Structure 1
Amino acid sequence: MAPDSKKRRREPYTVDTKLVEIYEDLANEKDEIRLKAAQALVSQFTPDKNPSDEQIQRALQRLFRGLCSSRKAARIGFSIALTEILTQVFATPREASEIDVRKVMGIWESQSDASGSDSGQEQRDHFFGRLFGSEAIIKSSILFKSNAPFSEWTKLLDLVFDLAKKKPWIREECGWIIYRCIYDLSSQKVDSKYVEAALERLSSFGLVRTPEGVAIWLAAKDLFPKANFPGKAWKHDDPLDARERNQLAKVLKESSVETENENQENKPKSTGVWNSKLHFAWDAVLSMIPAAKETKSKKDSSRLSFLDFWTDVVDNGLFASASSEERKYWGFLLFVKVLNESPLQQASLVFTRNLVRCLMNQLAVEDRYLHRMATKSAKTIQTRVSKEPAFAAAAIKGLMGSAGSVNFDQVTKTKTVEKIAVEANPDALREIVPLLEKLVSHPATDDSKAAASSRQSLANLLVSIVRSRASSQDADEGLQDVLEHILTIFVRSAYFTPKEKEGPQPPMAPQTQEMFRNRINSCLNSLIASQKYAATLPYTVVRKIRDAAKSEEYGKSIINIDGTLSDSVKSAFKSLKKLSGQDENAAADAFKLLYSMTLLQVYNGDADAVSMLDELEFCYTKFLGDKKSRKKKGEEDETSDASDTLVEILLSFASKQSQLFRRISEQVFGAFADKVTATGLESLSSILEASENLAGQQEMFDKEDDEGDEEMMDVDDDEEDSDVEVVDAEGGDDDEDDEEEEDEDESEDNDEPDDEEAEFQAKLAAALGPHAANKPDEGSDDEADMNDDEMEAVDEQLVKVFKARRDALEQKKDKKDAKENMVNFKNRVLDLVEIYVKKCHSSILALDLLLPLLRLTRRTNVKQIANKATNVLREYSKLCKGSAVPSITEDSTESAWALLKDLHREAGHSGPQAHATACSQASLLVVKVLVAHDKKAIEGVVDVYAATRKEQMLSNKCHVQPSFFTDWNNWCVSARNQIKT
């Protein structure tokens, strides 16, 4: 028996290796290999190949069985091949064929049926095989052909819905197949009985009130409106009916709460497993809901609007305070989905109260469960705004309005609102700015400190908007109106006190008003830097202050302008009006800017600004006033006086530690650089040569020892966006702040801190006498107590000691502040000198700057100042080439020779290497000037260099560096041919 049985198994069995390879490749993880294998297999079952029933049956059995494989890629590849083979086999009628729809359904059912002896994993594989098999059959459309028994369709529905009912973890996939099938049936225009059967089975299996059931119902309602729907499934026959909102919310969040007529036995089980992906039912619902009530058609008149849906189902459902973190996660997924995909009208409605509160809470703390999801949501808002700037208005209203918080960025420790605001376009800003204005006036709190904090945050946000638009290169139409509105908010808040009932609640504190005044400077700083609005918006600010003070539309002005000051202000506005009527030119714009900023200083209470108005009036009359009104006699002298006065005004602006006033001084100086006289340059030079100490400050600003420099240090320490500049005194030693060069009478101020402390302790001990704390205890009863006279005497001595200590510390601070002020001032003056050099390097007057710059590089102990001065000298030397070399006259030749000798004496001083290099550059520059005037001057130049070489050889006090003569030799080589000709 054994031999015979082996022969029976061996004889009929042949292996088709090519077919084996095809089936193996169908399970390959690579898409291209799977598709190629599917194509090879399907090609064997085309009508022209006329496959036999046995071949078809064997292939179907193999493919249906392959769908139950545990290899995930196999289900995809086998499903594709199965769908195409079924389509090919049933594409044309086959004579005498036993392969029909009933046969296929039988093979599918038998191959995907799990036996009781299978393991848990094997059963799961068979369930997925049944699922994928049903999908392949539906996609092939064999069930919807005219000759296909309708009972086979109902059989498939029963098997799929039974699987969904018994195995909730696979229910979403089962529902998805039927949901997509309804769309396929619609495109094929088949009879509605197929959809009606699906709805009937959906109801009979108790799956209507599931997310899958809602999606299937809505698809059928939309695509087959005339179909017969099961009764009593939904009370109002529509899941999206406004009266079904509560039930819909429970269904979509998969709540297990029962309804009154619900059969407990027929109730679908919960899926039991949380899915981090959003259920497809949400897509179905969103696609069916109109954006707003006014967009509804008559057919949808009873349906939920998007806002009602979002509020009831999402905000009060997924984001309810009692909701789990998992449901809130779904809520964030939905939020991101709407932001990414929905039109502006819908996306604008999603910033609801519970959602925004949850977003804030999760953003605020990094270790919270949904922090990463909240961060993604915040970035999605920003991305939507960057792509669609008009969305910025809705986003800021949502985050900062009634549903959000005025201090959203502060609470969340992010810059979400700020980033959104700076991306907004002018149309969005027209909605955002009024909202911020309302919040400034009423920041939703009765606490004065909280209101002040909120107003500062809002002011910072408005400043950020101004800065972003000022730096933008886009020519946005209507942007100036937005900027003027923002500045008007600041003016209203900074300079006026409205009546208690009509004004902000709580009322503005004086510190808050001062903060708003500083914010005006911050805004103007950015606007002036861009030069786009430098001639218009500063004038708009001061004009608004004046007009509002007259009309009292914002309340009573906090500024009292009367008498002489009133006349000066009126005269300044008259000049501004004339300037506004002139054609645009640099000089007129510069005066307009100066007038506006000086007036603003007047409104800010700066006493010096009043006299500056009169000086400005004088300068304006001489430079741009009516020429007929000028006197011909002495007109040139008056213009020179006006130029010198203008330089002094600009220096007063430059002396302030503020980017705003630095930029003003630079812009105006650049417009009038060619009109600066020798006296004006001397004013600049005198500052460069002043000492960087208290004495130098007093010399520059005419201050007494005890006055300090409060006006120059007008700084709000709490401001993050202050335009005050802090000078980095790089190279300066902190321990040497009190050490000033060439001031021997102050050398005693450089005592070490330890010595100062020891001196203080000695004076304290002397004042206490025998009662000093560190005196050894001698056990004397006389030391235990002091009488009143003794205590009074000790108190008087202690007051003197501590007063002396306080005075010493204040004096030390004054010296430190003075140095910082002088370093800042010199930096600003160097900026002006650099502007002058670039614009007027060919002027003979520019040579007067050489010595002051060289002395500055040698004397300063601040590396930043030294570097800046040498850079200016280097730039000056580079610019003076060819025809750009300054031309001298016979009258100025002697002063040029004297300058050359002074430069050589300066080169003999001991100093850093940069100083030596700068001396060489300056000397060669003057040599070029002399030789360009007269080639024979080279003889005298050689003598000067020879005298310097002699001095270097014979005097120990001459410290000329070797590079000084190396540069001279190199210049001689390059200039020799030119001089000979």
Structure 2
Amino acid sequence: MAPNHKRRREAFNVDTKLVEIYEDLASEKDEIRLKAAQALVSQFTSDKNPTDEQIKKALQRLFRGLCSSRKAARIGFSIALTELLSQVFGSPRDSSELNVSTVMNIWESQTNATGGESGQEQRDHHFGRLFGAEAIIKSSILFKAAVPFTEWTKVLDLVLDLAQKKPWLREECGWIIYRCVYELAAQKADAKFVESALERLCSNELARTPEGVAIWLAAKDLFSDAKFPSKIWKHDDPLDARERTQLAKVMKESSSADSENGQGGNAKSSGVWNSKLHFAWDPVMTRLGDSSAKESSKSKSSRLSFADFWTEVVDNGLFAAASSDERKYWGFLLFNKVIGEYPLPLASLVFTKNLVRCLTNQLAVEDRYLNRMAVKAAKGIQTRVSKDPEFAAASVKGLMGSSGAVNFDQATKTKTVEKIVVEANLGALKQIVPLFESLIASPGTTDSKAAASSRQFLAGLFLAIVRSRASAGDEAEEGMQKILEKILFVFVRFAYFKDEGRDQSVVPALTEQTQELFRSRINSCINSLIATPKYAGVAYAVVRKIRDAAKSEEHGKFIINIEEGPIHDSVKGAFKSLKKLSNMEKGEKAGINAFKLLYSLTILQVYNGDADAASMLEELDFCYTKIFGDKKSKKEETSDASDALVEILLSFASKPSQLFRRMSEQVFGAFATNITENGLDSLTSILEAKESLAGQQEMFDQQDDDDEEGDESMMDIDGADDSDVEVIDAEGSDNSDSDSSSEDDTTSNNGDDSEEAIFEAKLLAALGNARADDEGSGSGSDSDMNDDEMEEVDTQLAKVFKARRDALGQKKDKKDAKENMVNFKNRVLDLLEIYVKKCHSKLLALDLLLPLLRLARRSTVKQISTKAGAVLREYTKQCKGSALPTIESAEPVWELLKSIHAEASHSGPPAHTSACSQASLLVVKTLVAHDKDTIAGIVDVYADTRKAQLLSKKCHVQASFFSDWNNWCVSFGKQTKN
């Protein structure tokens, strides 16, 4: 057998480095691709003297790589190809036979789809041809003097032929030519290059397409001397005002775009919808924006204005009622683009009727096709406003003005407008406030209920503005106070006056409930503003505005009549005092501002119809005279004035209003140092009252309750979020019923069961033989009774149900009374906390210890008990070092110490023992500071308490009481020895 000789494989040199470079060109990482492109191009520098064959192979490999389906291959190969062509033809070699024609042939052959490939492979070749054309154009080899012009026209023909055959690639083809116009302008190329591009656009029926419009506009801007094809656009300008209808059809890719002008045939639509915005929109709108800016500088132009373009092309085109969701999607993309990128004058123009209607409809329902785009648009508006607060005015006008709806936020179930207005700056608010005022006057509906809803919403927006600016504090812009007062004056107009004039500017008429709502909003606004010293005078501005408007009747007739009588005199006198206070330059500024606030709010209560407010004004006059009047009188009778002032503050504090709470705290803080023993007793007596109906009857005159109930019931019309009314639950006592004791719940439940049983027993007794659950009686039971017997049964039933109603009414009264007393005690504790901070070193402050301790033990509401302990803790905290109460006689303090120990012996919650210990040690420190020799007597008092703890079953002093004492003794002993 012949030997088996294998043919020897010839050696084949593989450049592994080059293979790696081509592999890296397709990497998804930018830095790797760029490094590979640099490495490849460096192999073809002139000093390396590459052969024509090497260059051809590299070009073939790169053009072929452009047809790869790998994600990043086209990008990397395109960069490398552009740089390679620029380098090779940038420094021509004498011996080289390689020319641009050769490159064009390689490009055409390598990217040609023969028809035998799969659909995906054909698509890859089409993209390869597109990227190849872009690389050739970017390399600028076509625009050199020695290169035949036919090579340029060949590129144009191949690209435009691809755009015609494959409409889904038309935008990319147009983009390449569009960018080429800028490249030609940068190289100062001959206009013939652009002219040939425009001619071929027209011959391929692509002039009236979005791509054609963009290329035309770029050529007109950069090559104004070029010869443009005739009879395509009027004045050779796609943006001419007379082309608005045609332009609208072109930009939304209408198939009938050229039918009217008789251009032979039309370009096919791109066929495939693209979720990205067409590149042509940007050059079109940018140029229209520039034209609008020039027009504003009094230069005439036949071009469309930006506003007309937006209305015709976008609003009536993309957002037309009959438009598809896909076109509306483009419309939202345009809207977001303008809102996010364009200057304020242009961005303010895009809130057009169809757009806002579509935005509202899409936001309203989550499962609508364009809901996410609408949400993105709404957030885009908010983002722009946060960056450019001036834009808030245009946004609000657009969403709520003639193009939108007053109840935009309600219709869309969002807080879009609310979030916008709180970001608005002074300039924007100067436009927003008058708009809201006009919308309150005329909400755009004749339905009274719908108008009331819109007015309530607008009032809420005003309140949101005030709260946001109030929280800004001293950082508020100059002039902000005037705009905030303007908001309050708008409330005044609609809260206190009836528009009964002939002009009928308020349609439909305001309901009493809406006016009450506005009055409540005034309180809420003042409550937010007076927390900032800068806005301390707004309450005075409000009542002065009400008085002046009532005199002039500029807003109609005042809702209450106080023209004559004692009330009128009281109000008039109060305004005189206010004027004097305003003119005071010297003295304690905090006290003056506090008194102005108190006067202003009391007058406001008169205007709100509070029957007691007028008498409070008389008391205020007395306080004013004694505090700010004659110095001699002030020295003699200042105690009476401070006592009266405390009573006035308590009357305000008793109302469930955040405004009155804040006001009472500010005024009390200003005059705390003037409080007398009687004034302090007025406060502590409230702490001693029971948290029940009996306690309420003890503290309040019940004859006035009915009137006050009517007022309070109207305070919270649309929920606690925007109301000035304070809900007890809001401060942590929402658990008061459950935390006070489990006994309450059990008693309540057992009480309900027993009451139900008693009711059923009484009901059965009244029915007698005709019991409802007696099936044996049947229907014949009624027939056995005569008329007198039936009447007797009816009388008995009426009595039973009346008793039931009375019982339920009493139960509600008890619950309301408890809430009122808890609220009142909360307010008093707030005042006492202010007092101990300002007056802790006064002897009078020691009188607070026992009432606070008793409240901590007796209160059935855990929150009240805890708060009492907190106030006492704050007191002891303030009394550190030398800041102890100064005493003249030790005897009453000894009695106080013994009383505290007696209080500690009572059984109470754990916090009570701690409070007693703190109070006892505070008194001990006070006695020792007065006379160190008192320590022996103090030891005796503690010893007696210890003895009672050990021997008496009635003494419930806890061990911690003595532990705290022992710790203090150790500390005191160290100080004494030192």
TM tier relative to shorter chain:
over 0.9
1:494 matched to 2:485? The reply is: no
Contact 2:273 2:326 in 1 (8 A): yes
Distance in 2 between the 1:84 and 1:465 partners? 58
1:460 matched to 2:460? The reply is: yes
Distance in 2 between the 1:111 and 1:323 partners? 42
Task: State the Cα distance separating 1:146 from its structure 2 match.
Answer: 0.7
Matches within 5 A, 1:792-871: 792-871=791-870
Matches within 5 A, 1:190-205: 190-205=189-204
Distance in 2 between the 1:92 and 1:735 partners? 92
Contact 2:246 2:257 in 1 (8 A): no
Matches within 5 A, 1:178-577: 178-257=177-256, 259-261=258-260, 266-290=265-289, 293=292, 295-296=294-295, 301-473=301-473, 474-502=475-503, 503-534=505-536, 536-561=537-562, 562-577=564-579
Task: State the Cα distance separating 1:850 from its structure 2 match.
Answer: 0.3
Contact 1:291 1:346 in 2 (8 A): no
Distance in 2 between the 1:769 and 1:38 partners? 107
Q: Return 492-501 or 182-191, whichever deviates more.
A: 492-501
Contact 1:730 1:862 in 2 (8 A): no
**Partner of 1:600 in structure 2?**
604
1:615 matched to 2:615? The reply is: no
TM-score (norm 2): 0.95
CA, structure 1 residues 57+920, in 2 after alignment: closer, same or farther (shift >3 Å)? Answer: same
1:925 matched to 2:934? The reply is: no
Distance in 1 between the 2:749 and 2:368 partners? 55
Task: Encode CA deviations 1:72-111: one digit per residue, 9 max, x unaligned.
Answer: 3221111111111111111123213211111111111111
TM-score (norm 1): 0.95
Residue type at the aligned position of 1:369: Y
CA, structure 1 residues 26+971, in 2 after alignment: closer, same or farther (shift >3 Å)? Answer: same
Task: Encode CA deviations 1:322-364: one digit per residue, 9 max, x unaligned.
Answer: 1111111111111000011100000000000111111111111
Q: Return 154-163 or 211-220, whichever deviates more.
A: 211-220
CA, structure 1 residues 93+781, in 2 after alignment: closer, same or farther (shift >3 Å)? Answer: closer
Distance in 2 between the 1:681 and 1:713 partners? 31
**Partner of 1:965 in structure 2?**
962
Task: Encode CA deviations 1:649-689: one digit per residue, 9 max, x unaligned.
Answer: 11111111111000000000000011111111111110011
**Partner of 2:594 in structure 1?**
590
**Partner of 1:744 in structure 2?**
none
Task: State the Cα distance separating 1:772 from its structure 2 match.
Answer: 2.7
**Partner of 1:102 in structure 2?**
101
Cα RMSD for the two superposed structures: 2.3
**Partner of 1:127 in structure 2?**
126
Task: State the Cα distance separating 1:117 from its structure 2 match.
Answer: 1.4
CA, structure 1 residues 298+20, in 2 after alignment: closer, same or farther (shift >3 Å)? Answer: farther
Distance in 1 between the 2:5 and 2:113 partners? 35
**Partner of 1:975 in structure 2?**
972
**Partner of 1:33 in structure 2?**
32
Q: Return 595-604 or 106-115, whichever deviates more.
A: 106-115
1:896 matched to 2:897? The reply is: no
CA, structure 1 residues 865+279, in 2 after alignment: closer, same or farther (shift >3 Å)? Answer: same
Task: State the Cα distance separating 1:975 from its structure 2 match.
Answer: 0.5
Contact 2:516 2:714 in 1 (8 A): no
Distance in 2 between the 1:84 and 1:234 partners? 38
Matches within 5 A, 1:872-911: 872-890=871-889, 893-911=890-908
Distance in 1 between the 2:51 and 2:930 partners? 111
**Partner of 1:947 in structure 2?**
944
Task: State the Cα distance separating 1:560 from its structure 2 match.
Answer: 1.0
Task: State the Cα distance separating 1:196 from its structure 2 match.
Answer: 0.3
Task: Encode CA deviations 1:915-973: one digit per residue, 9 max, x unaligned.
Answer: 00100000010011111111111111111111111111111100000111111111011
Matches within 5 A, 1:726-765: 726-728=727-729, 729=733, 732-733=736-737, 752-765=751-764
Contact 2:256 2:266 in 1 (8 A): no
Distance in 2 between the 1:740 and 1:849 partners? 29
CA, structure 1 residues 690+739, in 2 after alignment: closer, same or farther (shift >3 Å)? Answer: farther
Task: Encode CA deviations 1:35-70: one digit per residue, 9 max, x unaligned.
Answer: 111111111222232222122112111111111122
Task: State the Cα distance separating 1:709 from its structure 2 match.
Answer: 6.1
Task: State the Cα distance separating 1:582 from its structure 2 match.
Answer: 1.1
Contact 1:46 1:89 in 2 (8 A): yes
Contact 1:86 1:142 in 2 (8 A): yes
Distance in 1 between the 2:626 and 2:740 partners? 47
SS in 2 for 1:885: coil
Residue type at the aligned position of 2:478: E
Distance in 1 between the 2:707 and 2:546 partners? 31
Distance in 1 between the 2:827 and 2:786 partners? 61
Contact 1:67 1:132 in 2 (8 A): yes
Where structure 2 has 5 or more consecutive residues not aligned to the other structure, the ranges are none
CA, structure 1 residues 209+315, in 2 after alignment: closer, same or farther (shift >3 Å)? Answer: same
Contact 1:916 1:960 in 2 (8 A): yes
Task: State the Cα distance separating 1:529 from its structure 2 match.
Answer: 2.1
Task: State the Cα distance separating 1:702 from its structure 2 match.
Answer: 2.3
Residue type at the aligned position of 2:44: F
Residue type at the aligned position of 1:533: Y
1:176 matched to 2:188? The reply is: no
Distance in 2 between the 1:61 and 1:885 partners? 97
Residue type at the aligned position of 1:316: N
Residue type at the aligned position of 1:818: A
Task: State the Cα distance separating 1:789 from its structure 2 match.
Answer: 3.4
Contact 2:210 2:280 in 1 (8 A): yes
Percent identity for Structure 1 against Structure 2: 70
Task: Encode CA deviations 1:688-741: one digit per residue, 9 max, x unaligned.
Answer: 111000111111112269859615665324244012122233554459899899
CA, structure 1 residues 266+841, in 2 after alignment: closer, same or farther (shift >3 Å)? Answer: same
> Which stretches of structure 1, 4 residues or longer, exceed 6 Å deviation after superposition?
3-7, 262-265, 297-300, 735-741, 747-750
Q: Return 188-197 or 234-243, whichever deviates more.
A: 234-243
Contact 1:362 1:370 in 2 (8 A): yes
SS in 2 for 1:452: helix
Q: How many residues align?
A: 964
Distance in 1 between the 2:390 and 2:310 partners? 22
Residue type at the aligned position of 1:559: I
Task: Encode CA deviations 1:593-623: one digit per residue, 9 max, x unaligned.
Answer: 0000000000001111111101111111111
Distance in 1 between the 2:818 and 2:906 partners? 24
Contact 1:175 1:212 in 2 (8 A): yes
Task: State the Cα distance separating 1:790 from its structure 2 match.
Answer: 3.4
CA, structure 1 residues 441+785, in 2 after alignment: closer, same or farther (shift >3 Å)? Answer: farther
Contact 1:730 1:863 in 2 (8 A): no
Q: Return 510-519 or 756-765, whichever deviates more.
A: 756-765
Task: Encode CA deviations 1:833-852: one digit per residue, 9 max, x unaligned.
Answer: 00000111011100000000
SS in 2 for 1:752: helix
Task: State the Cα distance separating 1:980 from its structure 2 match.
Answer: 5.7
**Partner of 2:58 in structure 1?**
59
CA, structure 1 residues 779+568, in 2 after alignment: closer, same or farther (shift >3 Å)? Answer: closer
CA, structure 1 residues 713+849, in 2 after alignment: closer, same or farther (shift >3 Å)? Answer: farther
Distance in 2 between the 1:97 and 1:387 partners? 59
CA, structure 1 residues 440+880, in 2 after alignment: closer, same or farther (shift >3 Å)? Answer: same
1:581 matched to 2:583? The reply is: yes
